[in-house]
Amino acid sequence: MNILHSIESLFVYGIFIYSAVLICFYIFIAVYSVGETRQYMLRSSFTDYTLLASSEHAPSLSIIAPAYNEAATIIDNVRSLLSIYYNNFEVIIVNDGSKDASLQKLIDEYDLVKEPHYFEQPIKTKAVRGIYKSKNPVYKKLIVVDKENGGKADALNVGTNIATNQYIVCIDVDCILEQDAMLKLAKPFLDTDNVRVIATGGVVRIANSCEVRDGKIAKVHLPKQFLPRMQTLEYIRAFLLGRMAWSRLNGLLLISGAFGAFDRDIVIKAGGYDHTTVGEDMELVVRMRRYMEENKIPYKVAYIPDPLCWTEAPASFKILGRQRNRWTRGTIETLKMHRVMFFNKKYGVLGLLSYPYWFFFELLAPVIEFLGFIFFILMALFGLINWSFFLALFAFVYTFAVLYSVYAILIEVMTYNQYKKRREIFMLLLTAIVEPFVFHPFVVWSAIRGNIDLLRKKNAWGEMSRQGFATKPAA
Amino acid sequence: MRLYIAGIWWHNTSAVPDIFIPKSFLFESTFLFAVAIFSLLSFIIFYLMRYISYTAKRKHLSSIYSSFISEIILCETEEELMQVMQQSYIQTIIYKWLSRPIGKRLLLKNLIKIHRNMSGSAAGNIRWLYMHLALDQDSVKRLSSPKWHIKAKAIQELAEMKQEKYISKIYRETNNKNVYIRTEAQVAVVKLTGFEGLRFLNVVSQPITQWQQLSLLQLLSLKNKFQWDKLPGWLKSKNETVVEFALRLVEKYQRYEFHNEVVYCLEHPSALIRKQSIYTLKEISQPHTAHLLEHYFLMSEKEEQLCILEVMQAIGTKEQLPFLNSLLAMEDASIQYRTHKVIRQISVPDLGYDTDKISGEAA
């Protein structure tokens, strides 16, 4: 009995410490991020971004957009990329062995011809079938690469090999960019004196229900559908609080795969995107950081809290489940690949703080939550629950969760205030109240399925069909 | 919220949690959280209401200021300006709004914005108004603020309004430890005194970021009186970023007379400077530059070697072919690839090959 009691005590104390540390982290993130956001906004008020738009000394960017079976939207998406507000750039569309008419559509629309093209291949990739450039000088910045299907990571690697510029910008072809997104993304590379900025990323916002005109967000609205609205709140919390705090600590492990810029040289030295994982965006950032730490080169991963990129969030439980399943697998795979950093002081903040945080509170959390839930049901069935204590604890955790969300909404209102209607803010607040009961358990369940799929060695990306944006023709 | 269900673990029959987490603590905390939620909600509502009223007030004030400034811009003499200022509605603006921080801040913002897009007498009138309302005193006062953003904004205002008389106060800030203050101060001295303003390069010990260098180069492109006598000194500065900036100046203005000084920088301890020197030499190349880079190539690190090959594409001649052919024996794939590109470029320049469109058989 004593042994059993000791195990139980150890377990209960362990979970208590876990939860207490987690609460402390949340409080720390909430407080620490605010100062950084405020400083960023003040600094930004002194920045004339138009300087970059016209300067020949602006960092040269190669925008890489992998495309797989995107025939329906590819023409508009490429046009949107070619019209971005920046001077020194090229657009590389990597057709990843699409089975539809994506390539032919591009050839017809942009007057493309296959060109003999020799390029270095510092990162090994699937074979390139051909490189196309336009006969029309208007599209001289466009390069279309046709390659054998190898997945998103492989397509990005091909783009990295072909890129001729100093920085690569990896983007999902169906994202909508803000007009000044490239300027804001490029600036941190110039804004440093003694450390090398190896990557920059910005806030990704949810575009469901927003009005889209000519490939641009014309009017921002809070998503009308339930799931995208939940994700809006989740993104506000993650981007405005979490990533901002990690950025201030220079401990950011993830730059969203939807939109991020990287130092091409370091990407190549680190070995490029890993096509064996479904979390290639996170894995690359971790590997680049690891490379810099191991070579003792001072560096920084910069983060911009401005909304730069808009994306369509999954609106059905099925698609959302696939997405979260994949994110979980990606996280586990990345952390497993770089386990040498776990509490390794050689890696500084990365090894002592970022990695352990991701391990305990991103990787393990859904597992602990899920087992906790099972444990709770069993205890309830056996009549072993101390209900008054349970209710007290439940109320404590629930109010804390709502408080954290409401705080994130306050920061959103006081900074970027994207949702102008008061009704929308109230809807967001309502979302904060409902979220822990509906959305969160589903996310945990999807993460558990991700764990199971990983154990079963399932490595599929999972189809991510989209509904499309609510477009409005130009006035 | 990862925390949500995790808490369920430590609530069961065991009395263990009660030892360090009494129920009363949970109830009190819950109550506190609930109060905090309610307070934040109230604050959000209050903030939104205040924001709406502030936006409306700002809109209203902007339209008042807009007509006021329009009248000022059209004046041709100081008498006319004074007459405009005597109008009762302008007096009301001055007494009612300029005594309030919001009114003053907004007027300043509008003046700066309009001045930026004006020239000639219209811009002069804006500056007159700025002085007449003693807004310059306000800016100067804010120069001593301990808050960096207030100080930097004040410098920005004084520079935009061409307040040369405060140059010495601004100049003192060009080496400020805060990057934003010194950036604004450096931009301000160049705005106010042109190329001469670059004298801060003689003494600046803080780094000049690439962004700042870009701003200064852009600003200098609007000026035309250059003094190059200080440049050799900057090329030997202890501050690496000063050397880098000086190299960029040589590159941008193609100052061939500094060729030797730039060559000297090829041996600088900083890799960044060495790289910039190579690019600068491309713009001021002389018949022997390519040959000089050949010698330097063997002493360089790989990144510089790649830069040299890139520059060779532009300045190399058939005389470099023996050297380039010797590089093909190197094992490094990138060096080989770039060398092929240069050889092609040099061998068949008349075919108008874009360097990025080299035939696949090249390697």
Q: How confident is the model at residue A317 (pLDDT cuts 50, 70, 90)?
A: very high
Tokens of B218: 């852009």
Give backbone dihedrals phi and psi of A262, rounded to 5 degrees, phi first.
Answer: -135, 150
Which 3-state string (H, E, C) describes chain B? CCHHHHHHHHHECCCHHHHHCCHHHHHHHHHHHHHHHHHHHHHHHHHHHHHHHHHHHHHHHHHHHHHHHHHHHHCCCHHHHHHHHHCHHHHHHHHHHCCCHHHHHHHHHHHHHHHHCCCHHHHHHHHHHHHHCCHHHHHHHHCCCCCHHHHHHHHHHHHHCCCHHHHHHHHHHHHCCCHHHHHHHHHHHHHHHHHHHHHHHHCCCCCCCHHHHHHHHHHHCCCCCCCCCCHHHHHCCCCHHHHHHHHHHHHHHCCHHHHHHHHHHCCCCCHHHHHHHHHHHHHCCCCCHHHHHHHHHHHCCHHHHHHHHHHHHHHCCHHHHHHHHHHCCCCCHHHHHHHHHHHHHHHCHHHCCCCCCCCHHHC
Percent of chain B with pLDDT over 70: 90
Nearest alpha carbon to residue A362 among A48, A29, A4? A29
What sign does the dihedral A277-A282-A286-A287 (CA atoms) show?
positive
Q: Summarize the confidence of residues B250-270 as an average pLDDT.
A: 93
Determine how β-strand A299-311 pairs with β-strand A176-177: antiparallel
Judged by average pLDDT, the poorest of A169-178, A242-251, B166-175 is A169-178
Chain B stretch 316-345, residues whose beta carbon is closer than 8 A to a beta carbon of chain A: 333-334, 337, 340
**Residue B357 to residue B347: CA distance in whole angstroms:** 15
Q: A112 in helix, strand or coil?
A: strand
Check if B211 contacts A (Cβ < 8 Å).
Answer: yes
Q: A103 in helix, strand or coil?
A: helix
pLDDT of residue A193: 72
Of A189, A375, A417, the CB nearest to B9: A375
Of A48, A372, A440, the CB nearest to B9: A372
User: The complex's ipTM?
Assistant: 0.85
What residues of chain A lie within 8 A of the CB of B53, using their CB?
none
Q: Average pLDDT of chain B?
A: 86
What residues of chain B lie within 8 A of the CB of A52, using their CB?
214
Check if B54 contacts A (Cβ < 8 Å).
Answer: no
pTM over the 0.90 mark: no
Q: Summarize the confidence of residues A129-135 as an average pLDDT.
A: 93
CB of A9 closer than 8 Å to CB of B16: yes
CB of B17 closer than 8 Å to CB of A33: no
Of A57, A394, A410, the CB nearest to B40: A410
Of A12, A46, A365, the CB nearest to B2: A365
What residues of chain A lie within 8 A of the CB of B56, using their CB?
none
**Residue B163 to residue B143: CA distance in whole angstroms:** 13
pLDDT of residue A70: 86
Nearest CA in chain A to B360: A118
Distance from CA of B267 to the nearest CA of A (A): 20
Q: A129 in helix, strand or coil?
A: strand
**Residue A471 to residue A307: CA distance in whole angstroms:** 20
Nearest alpha carbon to residue B236 among B267, B210, B280? B267
Nearest CA in chain A to B1: A401
Write the burial class of residue A11 (CB in 10 Å: 0-12 exposed, 13-18 middle, 19+ buried).
middle
Tokens of A389: 């204590």
Neighbours of A380 (CB within 10 A): 13
With an 8 Å Cβ cutoff, are A57 and B217 in contact?
A: yes
With an 8 Å Cβ cutoff, are A395 and B27 in contact?
A: yes
Angstrom CA distances, A410 to A43, B125, B344, stand at 21, 43, 61
**Residue A387 to residue B13: CA distance in whole angstroms:** 9
CB of A163 closer than 8 Å to CB of A62: yes
Check if B194 contacts A (Cβ < 8 Å).
Answer: no
pLDDT tens, position by position, B240-254: 999 999 999 999 999
**Residue A361 to residue A367: CA distance in whole angstroms:** 10
**Residue A290 to residue A296: CA distance in whole angstroms:** 10
Q: How confident is the model at residue B91 (pLDDT cuts 50, 70, 90)?
A: confident
With an 8 Å Cβ cutoff, are B30 and A9 in contact?
A: no
Check if B19 contacts A (Cβ < 8 Å).
Answer: no
Q: How confident is the model at residue B19 (pLDDT cuts 50, 70, 90)?
A: low
With an 8 Å Cβ cutoff, are B211 and A187 in contact?
A: yes
Of A193, A365, A429, the CB nearest to B41: A429
**Residue A319 to residue A208: CA distance in whole angstroms:** 15
Tokens of B132: 């007449």
Q: Which residue has the tokens 């971005």?
A: A84
Distance from CA of A72 to the nearest CA of B (A): 30
pLDDT of residue B359: 39
Check if B205 contacts A (Cβ < 8 Å).
Answer: no
Nearest alpha carbon to residue A321 among A437, A435, A462, A433? A462
Nearest alpha carbon to residue B69 among B154, B137, B127, B134? B127
How would you classify residue B361: left for phi > 0, otherwise alpha for psi between -120 and 50, otherwise beta? Answer: alpha
pLDDT of residue A351: 95
Nearest CA in chain A to B149: A42
With an 8 Å Cβ cutoff, are B2 and A22 in contact?
A: yes
**Residue B193 to residue B196: CA distance in whole angstroms:** 6
Q: Which residue has the tokens 């949107």?
A: A80
CB of B293 closer than 8 Å to CB of B308: yes
pLDDT of residue B100: 83
CB of A364 closer than 8 Å to CB of A333: no
**Residue B312 to residue B304: CA distance in whole angstroms:** 12
End-to-end CA, chain B: 55
Neighbours of B294 (CB within 10 A): 19
H/E segment holding residue A471: strand A470-472
Q: Which residue has the tokens 């509170």?
A: A361
Q: How confident is the model at residue A273 (pLDDT cuts 50, 70, 90)?
A: very high
Distance from CA of B43 to the nearest CA of A (A): 8
pLDDT of residue A51: 82
DSSP A132-170: EEESSGGGTTEEEEEE----HHHHHHHHHHH--SSEEEE
Tokens of A271: 């070995």
What residues of chain A lie within 8 A of the CB of B33, using their CB?
396, 399-400, 402-403
Q: Which residues, in sequence order, are bridge partners of residue A89?
A: A61
Nearest alpha carbon to residue A359 among A340, A337, A331? A331
pLDDT tens, position by position, A145-199: 999 999 999 999 999 999 989 999 999 887 888 888 999 999 999 987 778 999 9
Q: How confident is the model at residue B5 (pLDDT cuts 50, 70, 90)?
A: very low
Nearest alpha carbon to residue A95 among A132, A147, A156? A147
Check if B34 contacts A (Cβ < 8 Å).
Answer: yes
Nearest alpha carbon to residue B114 among B98, B130, B101, B100? B130
Of B214, B357, B360, the CB nearest to A55: B214
**Residue B70 to residue A198: CA distance in whole angstroms:** 48
Check if B348 contacts A (Cβ < 8 Å).
Answer: no
Percent of chain A with pLDDT over 70: 96
What residues of chain A lie within 8 A of the CB of B34, using their CB?
399
Cβ-count burial A124-156 (b if 16+ within 10 Å, e if not): ebbebebbbbbeeeebebbbbbbbeebbbbbbb
Nearest CA in chain B to A411: B44
With an 8 Å Cβ cutoff, are B47 and A414 in contact?
A: yes
Nearest alpha carbon to residue A66 among A149, A162, A156, A167? A156
pLDDT at A343 over 90: yes
With an 8 Å Cβ cutoff, are B214 and A58 in contact?
A: yes
H/E segment holding residue A308: strand A299-311
Q: Summarize the confidence of residues B99-126 as an average pLDDT.
A: 88
With an 8 Å Cβ cutoff, are B8 and A376 in contact?
A: yes
Nearest CA in chain B to A389: B11
Cβ-count burial B154-165 (b if 16+ within 10 Å, e if not): bbbbbbbbebee
Q: Average pLDDT of chain A?
A: 90
pLDDT tens, position by position, B198-232: 999 999 999 999 999 999 998 888 777 777 888 99
Tokens of A214: 């000519």
Determine how β-strand A211-213 pairs with β-strand A470-472: parallel
pLDDT of residue B94: 81
Tokens of A417: 């205030």
Q: Which residue has the tokens 């009961």?
A: A437
With an 8 Å Cβ cutoff, are B44 and A409 in contact?
A: yes
